[in-house]
Amino acid sequence: MMQEFSENSSLTHLDTSGEARMVDVSAKQATVREAVAAAQVRMSAETLEAIQAGNAPKGDVLGTARIAGIMAAKQTSALIPLCHPLPLQKVEVQITADQDLPGYQIRAQVKTKAETGVEMEALTAVSVAALTLYDMAKALEKSMQIEGIRLISKTGGKSGDYQRED
């Protein structure tokens, strides 16, 4: 027996029959929205040194990962069911060496003027940048770890601003 859902349900991605749906945002005002996400890739000090020196067998590890993250943000609605396609005005992916990990810190900032937020685009950007970094360097080390994919902050929208506390 199918459960009946009310229009007032807090489950925004389900219709009254309990079926998955894309939320109708057409009545919402387009506002500036921004999100920042982060991730890290942990590796041996030797692998970090080889990447920094430009000695990875596949070539430009960081440049390729950065472009992959930007491209992924633009494709989020094709990858994540029920995400709205958004006109992105800014996608910036930064990849910074971290000797203390050792490895790389990845940060993405995504900005739009739209009816819904860009958290998923920022999270997709750091995820794909990390996966690409792994792919480009796996010949050096297969035991690298992708860690800590998280939303750092978001601004705009009905739910208000968010800033991660840690």
Q: Could you identify the residue written with the tokens 């070539």?
A: 59
What φ, ψ does residue 93 adopt, rounded to 5°? -120, 125
Whether 135 sits among the annotated catalytic residues: the reply is yes
Residue 126: half-sphere exposure toward Cβ, Cα within 13 Å: 29
121 is an annotated ligand-binding site residue: yes
Phi first, then psi: give them for residue 33, nearest 5 degrees.
-135, 140
Tell me whether residue 46 is annotated as binding: no
Residue by residue, DSSP assigns 140-164 as T-TT-EEEEEEEEEEE-STT--EE-
State the catalytic residue, choosing from 100, 135, 161, 166. Answer: 135
Residue 82 annotated in ligand binding: yes
Residue 13, marked binder = no
Token pair for residue 107?
Answer: 């940060």
Which candidate, 127, 33, 136, 40, places its Cα nearest to that of 87?
33
Annotated binding residue 2: no
Catalytic site positions: 135
**Per the annotation, where are the binding residues for substrate?**
82-84, 120-121
